[in-house]
Structure 1
Amino acid sequence: MDRLSGLDASFLYLETPAQLMHVCAVMVLDPSTMPEPYSFDRLQSALDGQVRDVPEFTRKLRRVPLRLDHPIWVRDQGFDIERHVHRLALPSPGGYDELVSLCAHLAALPLDRSRPLWEMWVIEGYRPDGEDGVEQVVVFTKIHHATVDGVSGASLISHLCSLEPEAEPMGEAKARFGRDPGYPELLGRSLIGTATRPLTLAKVLKPSAQIVTRSIARARAGTAMAAPFSAPRTSFNGTITGHRTIALADASLDEIREIKRATGTTVNDVVLTLAGGALRAYLEERGELPSTSLLATVPVSVRESSQREGGANKVSALFTKLGTDIEHPLERLQMLAERNRNAKEHHKAIDADTLQDWAEFAAPRTFGLAVRTYANLRLAEKHPVVHNLVISNVPGPPMPLYFMGARIAALYPLGPVFHGAGLNITVMSNAGEVHIGAIACRESVPDADALVRHFPKELERLRKQVESKVASS
């Protein structure tokens, strides 16, 4: 029996019509590399053959009787690729504006929970360089967060990719599906789990209390990560709607690595510095720049250190100040590097499975009711801001990949947005480039392009300051 972990199930309970919990990706393909000329039917058929033995693509949810416990995964015996892979064409002229508008609309649609929780929309007619440019194909992917986190999501996409256009995809068939138990067994297991939950709680309380004690000591010593509920309020920190806006941008990974080497920092430090600068410029243009720094939640994979075997999501999170109150990029980078070192040390002192342990106590009925009440009462606007946004940095492949034979020209990841934090920025490296995807509540960030267009500008500003410092030293 393949039971969802508490953390996986929490993403189901967090979902409302406005707060959708799927992760998306905009994959731009160059069809000229395909061994045979592109056709939708051929692509759909190839995908059908590739995903049928992969549980993440062909399993669906089954509720537990009386919702006493988290749902289980069972194989969808009626799996039909036509319900998951769809075809669309961009309206004329088929450029960037038309693409992001369509993708924002698709991102705002919920997934059907009666089927496996994923969709692909194959979008034809994309001409990024104008009507006279070369036509490309875009695949817009949606996968529920209950199925994947950032790292496993990237791995799942790579399952469908190859290193050469004519090579077989790298993924190997898994063909391991959870057993579908009968009603009495499912009810009995749920009752036992409910009865033993207080014992599990007792095991979690002591180490959690120790974490709090150590965190207080770090805070007094000035070596703790930034604290939640210390963020300034911005226009994207309120109750969100179901409308979305999307923006995409690119940057050079080589330039980021050069800055990293010259300053003794990390790629993540540089990425967060660029994000802080872009947010500062965006808010300054709107006359909304707070005097104190914005606070970001940065998801961290604990896949290597987790002791848990099951569960799709193996993540924790750290909080970091983005230095939006610092004008000069190099000063911001130096500040962020120091704070991130403290945050990482603080995070390492916290057991990797703490978040997963506590998520086991998310009751299916009460958790969902609490989320809906929180949204309906607009409580996100009535308490101190927990965090301003989520920023993820997902390492991608260092070499070109081919999706069903088509070279992946760009891959822009997009995470979910939440009540109280209506903006998500996700960065992914791909074959020497960095692809930046921003998704937001449309009412909170009406023009996401006004934000992401500052990323390459901030990279140029930071590069020049670093070069100047190196030349003068």
Structure 2
Amino acid sequence: MAQAHGDRLSAVDASFLAQERANSHMHIGAVLIFEGPPPSYEDFLNHIRSRLHLVPRYRHKLAFPPLETGRPIWVDDPTFNLEYHVRHTALPNPGSEEQLRALAARIHSQRLDRAKPLWELWLVQGLEGNRFALISKTHHALVDGVSGVDLMTVMFDLEPVPQIAPHEGEPWAAKPEPAPLALAARGVKGLLKLPFDVAAGAVGAATHPGSTLDHVKEALEGIGEVAWAGLNPAPETPLNVPIGPHRRLSFVRNDLSDFKLVKNTLGGTVNDVVLTVVAGGLRTWLRSHGVRTEGLELRALVPVSVRAKDEHGQLGNRIVVMRGPLPVYVEDPVARLRVVRHAMEDLKSSKQAVGADAIVGLEALAPPTILAQASRLQFSTRLFNLLVTNVPGPQLPLYVLGRELEDLFPVAFLPENQSLAVAVMSYNGRMDFGLLGDYDTLTDIEDFGQALREALAELVEAAGGKPPRRRRSAASAA
């Protein structure tokens, strides 16, 4: 599917716009640390420019039909300036990772300008240990976590010697932006098409009544499960308080082999182990804040991709959300993993994901005002305590202009009344955690990171492995 000028946002993408508030920014990103001296800003700009034609959406901005006659549309930005989106800065001496985290936190504390394409990429020099960093920030409406990995790789090479790419599509000329009247007409036309779309679905149902009834039954059962989940709100915790616009960021380095050892020895999946580690870390953190954990089970919002294999690499979000368990009441780490594993198996066998996807399908038929309200219901922060997202990354080294990527720390987002988000990504044998916290609430976010390390160590030792060494950066190890 081409990323074309004039594409309308999907219902899910539009819901991410509807969720954004002054203190709740709906962008995601990463902090990427590279070995070697930084490239020059001009060379890096040319590198991005030479591959920008592979992701046309990065030159698109939002156009909003008047009177909310339809969902927003992606259109070419006639004033697109690559230098605005690709920025250059430097850390002061000594260039520590603490300073890098503070810079990344400040960048992620600021909303993206909706009048421009919804992304930024910062080239950061001056990092200690002969290293440099990239800080990325992209609105969730532009790209979701799973397809985002595909899009980010356009700037990577698989070999240390970079391939010389022609500047295809340069010079670039923007297509004319639709006039407000044309945007309104398109929106009205879309609304008028809805009865015919429904009729087409009815024709399909008449042609294949058996399979259609099965799908309808499954979707209705799923919607019922989603509704039942909505009647059981997440417990109140010190994490679920009003938040401000400012952020803290922490990094936790791990080895993927430790998670696989636990999985292979004690059962479950790597994602089950991740949730168990997060639950163990939260148990320690909550108890340090005087919270009794007996009988307490937190709920994690776990994004699940429903993108089909033949849709891999396409733009637009194809994700639904499920509520994963975080049994902080379980003291024994092996028993905690068992509870998580069984609960996740039950969720996967349930119709919750199907129901959530069906609700998204219903939202696609709704005018924007109704869509905004429906998205708030589905994404209600009353239903979960924090976001936990785990994205599998490439298990081979990646390079930018001959410099090897050392660490990739993902950065999630904080919805309203959510002061902590845990993002995890595997890369080249590593398992890096990016912890995003509200600046005023998570003043001890580093302590939570240490609690995660201890929770993983308990599981590894229970699986018969050696206690994980605290993996440090190449600069620290030197």
Quickly name the TM-score band, shorter chain normalised.
Answer: 0.7 to 0.9
Task: Name 1:244's counterpart in structure 2.
Answer: 247
In 2, the alpha carbon distance for the partners of 1:84 and 1:39 equals 16
Matched letter for residue 384 of structure 2:
H
Matched letter for residue 326 of structure 1:
V
In 2, the alpha carbon distance for the partners of 1:162 and 1:309 equals 17
Q: Select the residue among 8, 12, 26 that pairs with 1:7.
A: 12
Matched letter for residue 23 of structure 2:
A
- The answer to whether the 8 A contact 1:13-1:364 is kept is no
The 10-residue stretch of structure 1 (262-271 or 39-48) with the greater mean CA deviation from structure 2: 39-48
Task: Name 2:338's counterpart in structure 1.
Answer: 334
The offset of 1:413, in angstroms, is: 0.8
Return closer, same or farther for 1:280/1:467 CA change in 2, 3 Å cut-off: same
Does 2:446 match 1:449?
Answer: yes
- The answer to whether the 8 A contact 2:221-2:355 is kept is no
Task: Name 2:40's counterpart in structure 1.
Answer: 39
Matched letter for residue 279 of structure 1:
L
Does 2:83 match 1:68?
Answer: no
- The answer to whether the 8 A contact 2:147-2:315 is kept is no
Q: Structure 2 unaligned runs (5+)?
A: 1-5, 203-212, 466-478
The offset of 1:386, in angstroms, is: 1.4
Task: Name 2:22's counterpart in structure 1.
Answer: 17
Aligned pairs (5 A) from 1:222-371? 229-291=232-294, 292-304=296-308, 312-347=316-351, 350=354, 353-360=357-364, 363-365=367-369
| TM-score of the pair, normalised by structure 2 | 0.83
Q: Select the residue among 427, 431, 436 that pairs with 1:434.
A: 431
Task: Name 2:205's counterpart in structure 1.
Answer: none
In 2, the alpha carbon distance for the partners of 1:249 and 1:171 equals 38
Task: Name 1:392's counterpart in structure 2.
Answer: 389
For the residue of structure 2 that corresponds to 1:192, the secondary structure is helix
In 2, the alpha carbon distance for the partners of 1:144 and 1:359 equals 20
Return closer, same or farther for 1:22/1:289 CA change in 2, 3 Å cut-off: farther
Give aligned-pair identity as a percent.
31
In 2, the alpha carbon distance for the partners of 1:352 and 1:214 equals 7
The offset of 1:167, in angstroms, is: 3.2
- The answer to whether the 8 A contact 1:63-1:72 is kept is yes
Matched letter for residue 147 of structure 2:
S
Task: Name 1:142's counterpart in structure 2.
Answer: 137
Deviation by residue 1:153-203 (Cα, 9 ceiling, x = unmatched)? 111111110111213389997999998545544322211323455787897
Return closer, same or farther for 1:107/1:62 CA change in 2, 3 Å cut-off: same
The offset of 1:264, in angstroms, is: 2.7
The offset of 1:425, in angstroms, is: 0.6
Matched letter for residue 95 of structure 2:
G
Matched letter for residue 111 of structure 1:
L
In 1, the alpha carbon distance for the partners of 2:366 and 2:439 equals 30
| TM-score of the pair, normalised by structure 1 | 0.84
- The answer to whether the 8 A contact 1:244-1:439 is kept is yes
For the residue of structure 2 that corresponds to 1:287, the secondary structure is coil
In 1, the alpha carbon distance for the partners of 2:412 and 2:149 equals 12
Return closer, same or farther for 1:362/1:443 CA change in 2, 3 Å cut-off: farther
In 1, the alpha carbon distance for the partners of 2:354 and 2:47 equals 44
- The answer to whether the 8 A contact 2:219-2:358 is kept is no
Task: Name 2:472's counterpart in structure 1.
Answer: none
Return closer, same or farther for 1:347/1:299 CA change in 2, 3 Å cut-off: farther
Matched letter for residue 66 of structure 2:
P
- The answer to whether the 8 A contact 1:297-1:391 is kept is yes
Matched letter for residue 236 of structure 2:
R
In 1, the alpha carbon distance for the partners of 2:152 and 2:273 equals 26
The offset of 1:52, in angstroms, is: 4.4
- The answer to whether the 8 A contact 1:398-1:432 is kept is yes
Matched letter for residue 275 of structure 1:
V
Matched letter for residue 77 of structure 1:
P
In 1, the alpha carbon distance for the partners of 2:397 and 2:303 equals 26
Return closer, same or farther for 1:73/1:171 CA change in 2, 3 Å cut-off: farther
The offset of 1:112, in angstroms, is: 1.4
Return closer, same or farther for 1:285/1:417 CA change in 2, 3 Å cut-off: same
Return closer, same or farther for 1:179/1:41 CA change in 2, 3 Å cut-off: closer
For the residue of structure 2 that corresponds to 1:467, the secondary structure is coil
- The answer to whether the 8 A contact 1:154-1:396 is kept is yes
For the residue of structure 2 that corresponds to 1:333, the secondary structure is helix
The 10-residue stretch of structure 1 (61-70 or 227-236) with the greater mean CA deviation from structure 2: 227-236
Q: Structure 1 unaligned runs (5+)?
A: 128-133, 373-378, 469-473
The offset of 1:360, in angstroms, is: 2.2
In 1, the alpha carbon distance for the partners of 2:148 and 2:231 equals 27
- The answer to whether the 8 A contact 1:159-1:172 is kept is no
